[in-house]
């Protein structure tokens, strides 16, 4: 799970500095609570350009904070992040999302709703007091003259509520070894090569990347089970394929979470994408199809096509192979 800072919750509502100070203190407490549970809080780089009211900029208001709080807040939103741009969905810029008849495609609530549609757990935190002290937030996707309601976005503005929520969620994955244990136990429709997770060794552990890997493996696990007795893909399987394997250009193009490697990548990285078959050494597995983790850049390479009768081999979980 990832939390995004709802930049719309600064909407010139702070007419006195004392209220602003309390709101920033509460926001930083929300961030601290999230960190206790290993959850990253992302902010929009545009947050720094906000205004407290018609005459006071955010930066002017921050100058009234004590030095330690001022430094921590400004380093977060201007230098260290993490930032919303680092995890923005590949295809969201081509869509039109709105809330209450206002565009939110480039906003945290739009990104959270869009990511949730693709099975990526993203929620938001908001400043208080603001007009955003409600949950969930319902974002609308305007598509082909139709309105599609995206999954509701959970919103937190009270630290105690956030703490109770995070306490009730399953424990965060705390290592690559834990990730492997969870995957082997949970995704029984998949056949993992013995070395599949060994490629993670040496990579700094990332909770967000581990959670994304679990989401991608869950999609593959479900898709492998979506065949009827005659070996035909079920309606649920077709829906999963359309949702996760097709993008704007079709056939796994831009926007798809799973896609084939390009012809150039297949030529240049054929050896790296070829793996020993666990049962047929004479028939190595060439696995250019992959699932994508963007931050940090990691990949899951697997056998393709996915059929009723053949095992779905997961051959590689690790850093992006095709880096040039």
Rounded Cα distance between 59 and 48, Å, is 7
pLDDT(57) > 90: yes
Which structure tokens are listed for 225?
A: 């089970």
In this prediction, residues 236-260 reach a mean pLDDT of: 74
From the CB of residue 119, how many other CB atoms can be counted at a distance below 10 Å? 17
Task: For the chain, give every domain's residue range.
Answer: 2-168, 176-319
How much of the chain exceeds pLDDT 90, in percent?
Answer: 73
pLDDT of 172 reads: 66
Q: Which residues sit opposite 169 in a β-bridge?
A: none
This prediction has a pTM of 0.67
pLDDT tens per residue across span 63-94: 999 999 999 999 999 998 899 988 888 778 88
pLDDT(214) > 50: yes
Rounded Cα distance between 150 and 212, Å, is 19
pLDDT of 247 reads: 65
DSSP code per residue over 142-192: EETTEEEEPPPBPEE--HHHHHHHHHHSPPPP-SHHHHHHHHHHH-TTEEE
Residue located via tokens 């930049």: 7
pLDDT of 171 reads: 64
pLDDT tens per residue across span 27-44: 999 999 998 887 889 999
- The answer to whether 165 touches 125, Cβ cutoff 8 Å, is no
pLDDT(237) > 80: yes
Q: Calculate the dihedral angle through the C-alpha atoms of 85, 13, 23, 132, rounding to the nearest 10 degrees.
A: -60
In the chain, which residue ranges form alpha helices assigned H by DSSP? 17-36, 58-62, 67-74, 108-117, 159-168, 176-186, 207-224, 235-244, 263-268
Rounded Cα distance between 180 and 246, Å, is 27
Mean pLDDT of the chain, nearest integer:
91
The residues, ordered by sequence, that sit 6+ positions from 85 with a Cβ below 8 Å of its Cβ are: 45
- The answer to whether 2 touches 11, Cβ cutoff 8 Å, is no
Rounded Cα distance between 46 and 8, Å, is 10
pLDDT tens per residue across span 255-308: 688 999 999 999 999 999 999 999 998 999 999 999 999 878 999 999 999 999
pLDDT of 186 reads: 87
pLDDT(210) > 70: yes
pLDDT(173) > 90: no
pLDDT of 195 reads: 96
pLDDT tens per residue across span 87-125: 888 778 888 999 999 999 999 999 999 988 877 889 999
pLDDT(252) > 80: no
pLDDT of 255 reads: 60
């Amino acid at each position: 799970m990832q939390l995004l800072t709802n930049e719309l919750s600064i909407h010139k509502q702070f007419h006195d500095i004392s209220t602003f100070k309390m709101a920033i203190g509460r926001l930083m407490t929300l961030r601290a609570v999230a960190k206790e549970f290993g959850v990253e809080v992302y902010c929009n780089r545009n947050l720094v350009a906000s205004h407290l009211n018609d005459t006071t900029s955010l930066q002017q208001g921050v100058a009234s904070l004590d030095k330690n709080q001022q430094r921590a807040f400004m380093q977060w939103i201007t230098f260290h992040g993490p930032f919303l741009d680092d995890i923005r969905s590949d295809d969201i810029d081509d869509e039109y999302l709105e809330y209450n008849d206002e565009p939110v495609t480039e906003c945290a609530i739009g990104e959270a709703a869009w990511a949730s549609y693709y099975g990526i757990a993203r929620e938001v935190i908001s400043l208080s007091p603001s007009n955003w002290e409600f949950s969930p937030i319902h974002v609308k996707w305007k598509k082909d003259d139709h309105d599609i309601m995206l999954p509701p976005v959970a919103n937190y503005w009270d630290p105690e509520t956030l703490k109770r929520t995070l306490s009730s969620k399953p424990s965060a994955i705390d290592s690559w070894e834990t990730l492997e244990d969870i995957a082997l136990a949970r995704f029984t429709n998949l056949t993992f090569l013995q070395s599949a997770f060994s490629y993670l060794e040496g990579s700094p552990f990332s909770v967000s990347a581990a959670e994304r890997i679990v989401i991608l493996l869950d999609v593959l696990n479900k898709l492998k089970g979506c065949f009827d007795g005659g070996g035909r893909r079920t309606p649920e399987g077709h829906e999963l394929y359309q949702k996760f394997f097709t993008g704007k250009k079709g056939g796994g193009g831009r926007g798809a979470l799973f896609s084939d490697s390009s012809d150039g990548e297949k030529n240049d990285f054929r050896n790296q994408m070829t793996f020993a078959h666990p049962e047929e050494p004479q028939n190595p597995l060439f696995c250019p199809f992959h699932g994508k983790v963007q931050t940090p850049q990691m990949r899951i390479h697997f056998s393709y096509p996915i059929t009723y009768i053949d095992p779905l081999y997961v051959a590689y979980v690790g850093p992006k192979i095709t880096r040039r």
